[in-house]
Amino acid sequence: MAKQGRLVIVDDNRGILSAVKLLAEKYFASVEGLSSPNLLISELRSQAADVVLLDMNFTAGVNTGNEGLYWLKQMVEKFPETKVVLFTAYADIDLAVKAMQHGAVDFVVKPWDNEKLMAALQNAYSLSLDENRKRKKESNARDEVPMFWGQSAAMSRVRDVVEKVATTDANILLTGENGTGKEVLAREIHRLSMRRRANMVCVDMGAIPESLFESELFGFKKGAFTNANSDREGKFLKASGGTLFMDEIGNLSQALQQKMLVALQSRSIVPLGSDEAKEVDVRLIAATNRDLFKMVSEGEFRQDLLYRINTIHIELPPLRNRKEDILPLAEIFLARYANRYNKGELRFTEEAQQAMQNHIWEGNVRELQHTIEKAVIMADNRDVGAEQLLLQSSATSTPKLEVSTLEEMERRMISEAMASSNGNMTTVAQQLGISRQTLYNKIKRYGL
């Protein structure tokens, strides 16, 4: 089972701290133990957490739970994206229920049952994932990059294919480097399709823990597992009649590939806790920056699943191979962020335009977008110059083209982002335009 997410445990009993940490490390990618809540806020400011397991009492002889309530309120106010599970003694149950009304998602009674404790923590992690996706979706809706075809021959070929296949129900595989706009293209295909009046549901396959895969994708019935208090639709049913976009599909384990294949072949899913199959009607668009064909030859990806998702294959070109589109895209982003940050009408200097044309853009359109946003923020007057772009010169960036694979390029980008952000994973994820969980997965994959 792939380990996912970051957990922080706060308990003044070092024996409990060690025992829970040892248990949780089997399930979470990162587990940190704190013996005092006074360290909690600074710890989360340094590195965000998905879940916090918080004891209710920290002062010897005091069992009011007021300390736990105080730190819970601090968490809800300062880190609303982090889910809090309370650790409580028997006498504190009424207080714990009150605390849940103030923002905690669950409580676990001491002495604890290992299975129930892990179920509560993983359910909290699932809630954190859901809310992060909702926030990302809302943010994307505000900041969504419109489809820009440009003038390059490479994008002209992509457009020709899209216009032929968009109105069909053919499954599509989108490949290309990070930041080339695979999700933007998927949304454009959905907009042009016969399914445009139905939902397009996006799933980051790299961010779903193996233990939550079936409940996330297929849904579950009430009582299927601990804390399954009501029926819940999975992504397949939510997308039925519309489009299901699966990003980073190359990150699926062999076991999950098999489950995905069965669902696609049968065009049905069975929610957890049910023995009744439900038919689903989805148009699948999958995306990856990995070479699935090479992964098939190396036994890392199922050939039959590749056939299922690859009726039509569209490769998105890197931005450095469509240089004629760089400045028009930059102008789009300049106008957008000038409006957002109330900067008035801005323009690029000739030096800035030349710098953008000469830059390699390893992060592609996403890197260009973030570069322009930062430049707009830093602009002191109407002119946006090369000094605001903060780009490396061509001489220093050209050798990076010698990187032999996309994986090596991605590893270098993550490593450089970690160095420039002093290891702050939230900042790194924002800089790269990916979720924290996807970042953790990539750090683990590349041994960083």
Q: Tell me the average pLDDT across 263-290.
A: 94
Render pLDDT for 187-227 as a digit per residue (tens, 0 to 9). 999 999 999 989 999 998 877 888 888 888 999 988 888 77
268 has pLDDT over 60: yes
Render pLDDT for 46-62 as a digit per residue (tens, 0 to 9). 788 999 999 988 765 55
State what percent of residues in the chain have pLDDT above 90.
Answer: 52
Spatial CB neighbours of 187, under 8 Å, sequence gap ≥ 6: 144, 147, 200, 245
Tokens of 148: 């820009």
Whole-angstrom Cα distance, residue 260 to residue 444?
24
Which residue ranges form the domains of the chain, and what is each CATH number?
Answer: 6-130 (3.40.50.2300), 144-315 (3.40.50.300), 320-446 (1.10.8.60)
Q: Tell me the average pLDDT across 120-145.
A: 72
- Residue 169: band (very low, low, confident or very high) from pLDDT cuts 50, 70, 90: very high
- Residue 76: band (very low, low, confident or very high) from pLDDT cuts 50, 70, 90: confident
- Residue 118 gets which letter from DSSP? H
94 has pLDDT over 80: no
The angle at the Cα of 75, spanning 143 to 109, to the nearest 5 degrees, equals 125
Which has the closest alpha carbon to 337: 291, 379, 306, 396? 379
Residue 47 pLDDT: 81
State what percent of residues in the chain have pLDDT above 70.
Answer: 88
Whole-angstrom Cα distance, residue 362 to residue 325?
15
Spatial CB neighbours of 102, under 8 Å, sequence gap ≥ 6: 69, 72, 73, 76
Whole-angstrom Cα distance, residue 159 to residue 234?
32
Q: Tell me the average pLDDT across 38-48.
A: 84
404 has pLDDT over 60: no
| Helical (H) or strand (E) element with 283 | strand 283-288
Q: At what angle do helices 153-165 and 182-192 cross, to 10 degrees?
A: 40
- Residue 128: band (very low, low, confident or very high) from pLDDT cuts 50, 70, 90: confident
Q: Give 180 or 435, the one with higher predicted confidence.
A: 180
- Residue 399: band (very low, low, confident or very high) from pLDDT cuts 50, 70, 90: very low
Q: Give 268 or 136, the one with higher predicted confidence.
A: 268
Average pLDDT, the chain: 86
Residue 400 pLDDT: 41
Residue 132 pLDDT: 74
Residue 2 pLDDT: 64
Q: Tell me the average pLDDT across 237-250.
A: 94
Residue 48 pLDDT: 84
Tokens of 248: 């980073």
Q: How far is CA 363 from CA 3, 68, 196, 370, 419, in A?
A: 27, 43, 30, 10, 16
SS3 call for 119: helix
96 has pLDDT over 80: no
Min mean pLDDT across 33-37, 128-132, 436-440 is at: 436-440
Q: Tell me the average pLDDT across 74-96.
A: 80
Render pLDDT for 136-168 as a digit per residue (tens, 0 to 9). 555 555 455 668 898 899 999 999 999 999 999
Q: Tell me the average pLDDT across 399-427.
A: 66
Q: Tell me the average pLDDT across 263-280.
A: 92
Query: For residues 155 and 319, is the Cβ–Cβ distance under 8 A?
Result: no
Residue 134 pLDDT: 67
Residue 79 pLDDT: 83
Q: Tell me the average pLDDT across 315-338.
A: 94
Query: For residues 168 and 198, is the Cβ–Cβ distance under 8 A?
Result: no
Whole-angstrom Cα distance, residue 43 to residue 79?
12
Q: Give 39 or 427, the one with higher predicted confidence.
A: 39
114 has pLDDT over 90: yes
| Helical (H) or strand (E) element with 331 | helix 326-340
Q: Give 211 or 376, the one with higher predicted confidence.
A: 376
109 has pLDDT over 90: no
